[in-house]
Amino acid sequence: MQTMKTSLVAVVLLCIFGFSLGLKGDYQEKFFDQYIDHFNFASYGEKTYKQRYLIQDRWWRQGHGPILLYTGNEGPINAFADNTGFMFDIAPEFGGLLVFAEHRFYGKSFPFDPEVAFTKPYIGLLTIEQAMADFAMLITHLKVELNSTDCPVIAFGGSYGGMLSAYMRFKYPNIVAGSIAASAPIFLLSPELDRSFFFTDVTKDFGRIRDCVEGVHQAFIEMNMLARQGTTGLEKLSKTFNLCSPLTSNKEYQHLLGWVRNAFTVLAMMDYPYKASTFAALPAFPVKVACGLITNSTEAIFGLAKAVDILYNTVPVKCHNIFQEYVECADPTGCGVGPDSRAWDYQACTEVHLPAGSNNITDMFPVIPFTSQIRTEYCQQKWNVTPRDSWAATQFWGRDLNTASNIVFSNGDLDPWRRGGVLTTTNPNLVTQLVIGGAHHLDLRGANPADPPSVRAVREVEKSQIHKWIMEHYTKSSAHSPVQ
């Protein structure tokens, strides 16, 4: 999910290029003895594992200031801490303690040795419920350890992490006073969601640039013509895209198409107005840059190859190993690579139902289908599990948010995930915000001079809501609030 995921999410999440007040990376790494299984007393008993978390108390008014908790995503927690400058920016204003909690089965937080963690029965403990219980137990422990039991907790998260921050308010309102859920496609867990939106909206992002979509269409036509020529055409494709090993079959060609599509996914998600290194060191407005390479090329296919290199050649390589740079999985938008990709693949086969594939009708990409039936067959073969989407909708409320409260759902109009999120609500206890000119959870990034006015306004709304939640918390507890 790249966050929601891309093929590079686990290995090249780096520090943001921002101008936030907070010092990125200015935190301590610690570990908490976390229960392996929170819900089955007979399975692992009192056995624990080391859950990693990052903590920073530079501006904390101990015992009074709020605890600002980031609910970790599908990757190493330091990567998300370094890309969530908004929390560092506002910590001085609120006198807040910063805590970034790592998700089990990612980064350094493995309940079991990685050699066996992805086998049965151990992999069965990778669930949203277990991860949320980890966050709840960690925060409860820290509040006692730091003699701050009355401090309100505000959850933050982007993408899957944003889903978790919302779910924490759903499930643990006794612990979490409010949540900032940025680019959080929680309706993915509703079986009724039309999943064809994602690649359609990626196409719309590129369609903002004149002649770009037409150029991409033409490039794929040229690719298909070469592929039909057999060995000669596959060799030319291999040279055009600078592959380390020449393509030898239609199956490998299909993988090349997925590798190319994945690059466009990342460029659309990370279409920030300044240089950024979330998934790779991308230029400002990478969609515009990619379109320029495509439309200004003498042959569309050569422009396409250059556009793909914006992502895959940010760290210069002699050639591309498309099987290492992109791994097919239960998430058509990419699972990443390495152990983190395996964990996300399993989650995409169980509780998190990701979007459908591309169809070349409503989008500019080749026909690469991914239906619910394809997902089920893949998951049965790969993990020997069968998705139960009706249970996920029941467990995590589906579309019924009438009883939810104290959550800001923000989405960017450039973000292809936005239609999986909460864009409007009739619930007066929820707030929705649209970031005009905003890509994937832009509002959680550190303040930058190039930020569009809309994201600055959304951040002010988020801060206002946080103030409100803190005041409500202290009013209910009859304790003194440090926030004026």
Catalytic residues: 159, 415, 440
Encoded amino acid at 329, one letter = C
CA dihedral 340, 343, 344, 347 (to 10 degrees): -160
* Token pair recorded at residue 283: 């230029």
Alpha helix stretches (DSSP H) within 296-413: 300-312, 322-325, 339-348, 372-382, 389-395
**Cα→Cα distances 66→51, 55, 62, 154, 471, Å:** 22, 13, 9, 7, 11
3 state DSSP class of 415: coil
Plot region of 290 (φ>0 → left; ψ -120 to 50 → alpha; else → beta): alpha
What is the C-alpha separation between 54 and 36, in angstroms, rounded? 20
Which residue from 322, 321, 383, 317 is spatially nearest to 351, judged by alpha carbons? 383
Instruction: Give the tokens for residue 194.
Output: 């039309």
Query: Is 95 strand, coil or helix?
Result: coil
Cβ neighbour number for residue 457 with a 10 Å cutoff: 14
Please answer whether residues 5 and 74 qualify as being in contact, where contact means their C-beta atoms are separated by less than 8 angstroms: yes
Q: Is 37 exposed, middle or buried (0-12, 13-18, 19+ CB in 10 A)?
A: middle
Q: Specify the pairing of strand 97-101 against strand 48-56.
A: antiparallel
